[in-house]
A = this chain, B = another copy of it.
């Protein structure tokens, strides 16, 4: 069949072929504006997470209360490192704040080059791990804060907040800030996945 059609056919076929070679360049970058918007949102969310995580670490890390009365043997003093969960909380939130600062340049690279896959995939995987860490730290600290406020009748644990009200107030604030950092991270992960998504 093609042998009888001759040269005329060859020209007809050439046209769609060159059209195809143009479209191969256009296909991978159809909406650069959309991708850039995602990258900028990513950067802003990271700034928010830095503020929340570091704020939370500092709030908890400076948390102590000395009651104005003391007996001969006992001084009433509550400090954040009385509980190992609060120690973990301060370390975890500090680490997350530090990681987020280190991640900012990579996030910036993703704004400049919205189609790079490597840094974005790497950031996403570390984000997921960090989300687990901050959730664990905030939840275990929240459990202690709850017990401090309410105690546990069944276990015969007394509510220490009746004495140390300032200490408890500050702990609660730090826990809330840490949950805010978690929400930022929870938004960052699907955003990275959206940016990775094929068009």
Q: Verify if A108 is at the interface (C-beta below 8 Å from B).
A: no
Q: Verify if A158 is at the interface (C-beta below 8 Å from B).
A: yes
Asked whether, in the complex, the Cβ of A129 is within 8 Å of the Cβ of B3, the reply is: no
Docked complex Cα distance between A16 and B17 (Å): 9
Docked complex Cα distance between A177 and B5 (Å): 72
Most buried by B among A125, A135, A146: A135
Q: Verify if A128 is at the interface (C-beta below 8 Å from B).
A: yes
Docked complex Cα distance between A79 and B154 (Å): 9
Asked whether, in the complex, the Cβ of B20 is within 8 Å of the Cβ of A10, the reply is: no
Q: Mark A115-126, 1 if CB is under 8 A from B, else 0.
A: 001000100110
Most buried by B among A10, A141, A189: A10
Asked whether, in the complex, the Cβ of B193 is within 8 Å of the Cβ of A152, the reply is: no
Q: Verify if A95 is at the interface (C-beta below 8 Å from B).
A: no
Within 8 A of B (CB), among A3-53: 3, 5-7, 9-11, 13-14, 16-17, 20, 24, 28
